[in-house]
Structure 1
Amino acid sequence: MTHPGEQFYPEGVHWDDTIARGTLPDLLSQAARDFGARPAIEFRERPISYTELEGLAEVAASAYLRAGYGKDTSVALFLGNTPDHPVNFFGALKAGARIVHLSPLDGEIALSHKLADSGARVLVTSNLAALLPTALKFLDKGLIDRLVVCEDDSWGRIGTPQMALPDHPSVITHRQFIGGAARPAQWPSIAADDVALLQYTGGTTGLPKGAMLTHGNLTAAVSIYDVWSKPTRQKREGVPERVICVLPLFHIFALTVVMLSAIRRGTLISLHQRFDVEAVMRDIEVKRATAFPGVPTMWIAIAALPDLDRRDFSSLATFGSGGAPLPEEVAKIFERKVGKKLKSGWGMTETCSPGTGHSEQGPEKPGSIGLMLPGIELDVVALDDPTRVLPVGEVGEIRIKGPNVTRGYWNKPKETAESFVGDRFLTGDIGYMDTDGYFFLVDRKKDMIISGGFNVYPQMIEQAIYTHPSVHEVIVIGIPDEYRGEAAKAFIKLRDGAAPFSLDELRAFLTGKLGKHELPAALEFVAELPRTPVGKLSRHELRKQQTMPLQQPKLATGTSS
């Protein structure tokens, strides 16, 4: 049976191609067998081979088992982009534990919730001054029992600001943690259906929820991308592949699209701790990187280079944008000045990233999110009846089914039940499918704001603003932002007699309580906030009342394979 849009798939790719499921430790072990001495990661000019990476992960796994962090336990990673992430990610998984990703961009409210909800009692972080003080607060609050601290200089000294470790019985360096750990006689048995990762996401109806992503979900996601890109790889057989990883590894986009997919294919990961436009361009022009997935803010910065049309992008075979809508104007600049089509696709945390994609063989579809990828089923259902499938062209909620889709939310049976209709996951995105099988988004049911590729949750911001002594009521909504796609705006009703304050004063008050990406970009004081008929504050009604000062940017289509 031909699925909608399959006629536009890359040559030789079929919707029903085999999507392999397995476990993540096996993914790394197979890569070590297949690619051995080939560099897996390059960080601060130091290469780490596939054999070395597997060896480091096995030592870490032995240490986790010795410390009691094996099956049915959660290990929290509070790390930036450094080899410490894959070493501990694969190490804890090989020990049988679950990973909990904590974003260094988050504020204490969200991080504390994720730690408490996940049940993680051990936290792995770095001695970087930007991370360690926050991690120590979790220890002081009793949220964790042990803090394992990786030493940033172990990967080469570049003068990063660091913090000395306190003399505390529950704080240990990673070097001490793994010291003398012996390989077990037998590794724990791990199945594809075991939960590998609690990846937190959410909306505005509550605190972030931990999407339970199994080993099978994540390896299936890698396989889906593998099947989709096979024709491109075959054309380039023998060419050394090098992918630039600036995206944060704690984000599902970088984890699946970059790290796991690269390991599956034997690609070298050029790992960057942060985005620097000239560092990325050196990777492309001098080191001849072949792939660069980024978020719109990165592509906007590159598009702004005054000599863009004289820069050499010829080595890039795969590049695209994700995480947030890509302004169409940026795509036009690249096509005009560089001669390459920069495109974007759609996916979710709950799908381990894969959802839709565009093929070079397909027609141009301005505003489309693309075709359903192999092994994935998408349909559109009525907003008032998620069991009723709508015909082509009618707008409703998009549902998804596939081997990459989460089994539900950790400790949230009610939210899990509400998110599924049978075996199909309700995405919360409103859209339609055209006659060619291309999907289009028209709105989001969720009130989540996507700012610079990161999920920002209005209720988290509202909770923090409510701690201000002058605030009586507040509603936060997303507003268009030419650089980040969306940004948060706070509408505040003051307490009687309270004096108004500036946006800068509000942001200063919220710093530390929220992540930098969560801080409001705009502020407005109002006499009254809209309410529902039962008296609840109504974000929906407020959004309807607002006339946005900025025009919503048009979105680019597709994803480059």
Structure 2
Amino acid sequence: MSEESIWTRHYNHPCPWDQRFAPLSLPDMLEASAARDPNAVLIDFLGRHYSYGETLDGVNRVACGLKALGIARGDRIGLFLPNVPHYVAAYYGALKLGATVVNFSPLYTVDELAHQVADSGTKLLFTLSATALLPTALKVLEASSLERIVVGSVAGALPVGKSLLYRMFKGKEVAARPDDPRITSFSALIANDGRCAAAPIDPLNDVALIQYTGGTTGTPKGAMLTHQNLTANARQIDMIDPHHDAPDRILAVLPFFHVFANTCVLNRTVHRGGMIAMLPRFDATQALATIGRVKATALPGVPTMYQALLDHPQIGKTDFSSLRVCISGGAPLPAEVKAKFEAVTGSKVVEGYGLTESAGVVSTNPYEGLNKSGTIGQPIPGTRVKLADREDPTRPPPPGEPGEILFAGPQVMKGYWQRPDADAKVFVGEWLRTGDVGVIDEDGYIRIVDRLKDMIAVGGFKVFPSQIEAVLYRNPAVKEALVIGVPDVYHGEMPKAFVTLNPEVEAVDGEALKAWLNPQVGKHERVIAVEVRLNLPKTLVGKLSRKELVAEERAKAGG
């Protein structure tokens, strides 16, 4: 029986699997929702509301302002922004003009930002007058081909009372905007009537977003996501929600610059006509308060975020009664974290899976019905998944063995920006290689075993870190765990574990954990050490990250 026939016979999402998605541009998607109810609230920014009609007016003004500056169809427009209302206006405004958006993390260094500006050919950059952002953007303006910066103010987007307080007490967080003809204020950009001709858009072929991979190794590559990639994925995600007639208020603590939030929070909610409760960054205190204040119905996040909320002293005092679903992605969700969060909040946590190259989401557990912990669920509508041989992706894996996960669907990227060499490595016909190794069970649920590049070669045996990490998480003392391969003269590599500890459990040392762990795993999986740390490295979006540990251990070995 083929993988596809398994999940189509046991499909648990509340819609038929075999779906087709008509071509749709992102600006048209926003305009359709605004036309349905222009007075509905789209953005709640720390208590200030922006309706769909008001937001669309801002989008039109951004488009006309950019056009007046000479920005044209196909130009690349960078967003160096946290989650603020300016992001939504700049994002859809640039797209309405036919330009391509490039997302940049607000945590980038000057070198990181300059490299991706140069690689993408970004002409204009949106940012804020914040000391954490503007000085970096100015240095890149001086040292790259970047032509112009548009600078917004956080205070201007806040409710009046909070705006005054921000100006009074947060002055040290505001950087002065130089008097430079290459620098335009956001308010000056939108000082127009918003009436200018929109560019014709081909949703199937026009690139809406260049999204750089978070890549754990090597130089990040820019995934080219078309309008159709992004709107199709937004519609696919919306289809699997069985509560279409219920209020839709999503908490936006994941950063919009990341593809997970860009699709699951921003684009999906705009398509639905829901409300986004937007926070500039993840802060557990603020997140819990906002859930109660806006009566949030959905909370997308990464596993470390759910753990941080569980650790917060206010978790027991927060009203979670409005919360229908929490969507976890970005990294494997420990079963213990899922169970504890559900027990404490009474909400359901479903685990899903996606990549930058998939415009967001490939598969997820159903919101209702069979939810298999430790799996990434079933493919979302219109998406096909299959397994391939780990050595030769053109062949199926040997019977009964895990294989590399490949997928196809309307959300598959157009390719990598100016990297045909990388395209040749990742595409197998219409199928895209994920680099993840997995199995598909009798119900069509996908379980990831590990990543090909994370696999540890121990004397000819293949060891998958996640299998060892899963055992470590069964120890009540372990809060977080990462396993990497470290150089070994005899075996080539050997597994080594790094953990943080739960403060409420009696502390143990690395030797005790090693003695507990090794008898429970295969001989080739036994770790040479367990190192206890106060913190483990994380990516910009909060996922646990191996690459820093790998670099550290290789430096030790080299020394």
Structure-1 residue corresponding to 2:121: 119
Letter in 2 for 1:313: F
Number of aligned residue pairs: give it. 471
Question: Per-residue CA shift, 1:367-392, capped at 9, x if unaligned?
Answer: 21211111001101111211112366
Pairwise mapping of residues 31-110 of structure 1 onto structure 2 (< 5 A)? 31-110=33-112
- Whole-Å Cα distance in 2 between the matches of residues 380 and 518 of structure 1? 25
Pairing partner for 1:25 from 11, 20, 27: 27
> In structure 2, what is the Cα distance between the partners aligned to 1:321 and 1:527?
35
Identity %: 38
> After superposition, what is the alpha-carbon deviation per residue over 1:148-181, rounded to whole angstroms, capped at 9, x for unaligned?
1112221122524101111222112122233347
Measure how far apart 1:481 and its partner are: 4.9
How far residue 98 of structure 1 moved from its aligned partner, in angstroms, is 0.1
> Separation in 2 of the partners of 1:353 and 1:331?
21
User: Which has the larger helix fraction?
Assistant: 2
Written as runs of structure 1 = structure 2, the 5 A alignment for 1:42-441 is 42-156=44-158, 157=163, 158-159=165-166, 160=170, 161-180=173-192, 183-184=195-196, 186-192=197-203, 193-201=205-213, 203=215, 206-229=218-241, 231-233=242-244, 237=245, 239-306=246-313, 308-309=315-316, 311-359=318-366, 363-390=370-397, 393-441=400-448
DSSP-derived class of the 1:316 partner:
coil
Query: Is the 1:393–1:433 Cα contact (8 Å) retained in structure 2?
Result: no
Whether the aligned pair in 2 keeps the contact of 1:39 and 1:49 (CA below 8 Å) is yes
For residues 444 and 15 of structure 1, the distance between their equivalents in structure 2, rounded to whole angstroms, comes to 27
Contact 1:17 1:227 in 2 (8 A): no
Structure 1 contact 8–359 (Cα < 8 Å) conserved: no
State whether residues 21 and 217 of structure 1, in contact with CA within 8 Å, keep that contact through their aligned partners in structure 2: no
1:7 shift after superposition: 4.2
Q: Does the CA contact (< 8 Å) of 1:430 and 1:441 recur in 2?
A: yes
CA drift of 1:340 comes to: 3.4
Q: Mean Cα displacement is larger for which, 242-251 or 195-204?
A: 195-204
Change beyond 3 A, Cα 1:121–1:478: farther
Is this contact kept in 1: 2:147–2:182, CA < 8 A? yes
Cα distance change on mapping 1:103 and 1:298 into 2, 3 Å: same
1:511-544 per-residue CA deviation (whole Å, 9 max, x = no partner) reads xxxxx999947945867449xxxxxxxxxxxxxx
Aligned to 1:464: none
How big is the shift at 1:244? 0.8
TM-score by length of 1: 0.78
CA RMSD of aligned residues (A): 3.0
Shift of 1:363: 4.1
Measure how far apart 1:398 and its partner are: 0.8
With normalisation by structure 2, the TM-score equals 0.78
Alpha-carbon spacing, 1:360–1:204, altered in 2? closer, same or farther (3 Å): closer
Counterpart Cα distance in 1 of 2:83 and 2:546: 20
- TM-aligned CA deviation for residue 243 of structure 1: 0.9
Change (3 A) 1:166 1:428: same
- SS of the residue corresponding to residue 57 of structure 1 reads helix
| Cα distance in 2 for residues equivalent to 1:525 and 1:394 | 31
Instruction: Using the TM superposition, name which of 365-374 and 191-200 deviates more.
Output: 365-374
Q: Secondary structure at the match of 2:16?
A: coil
| Structure 1 ranges of 4+ moved more than 6 A | 516-519
Residues 240 and 367, structure 2, Cα contact 8 Å, conserved in 1: no
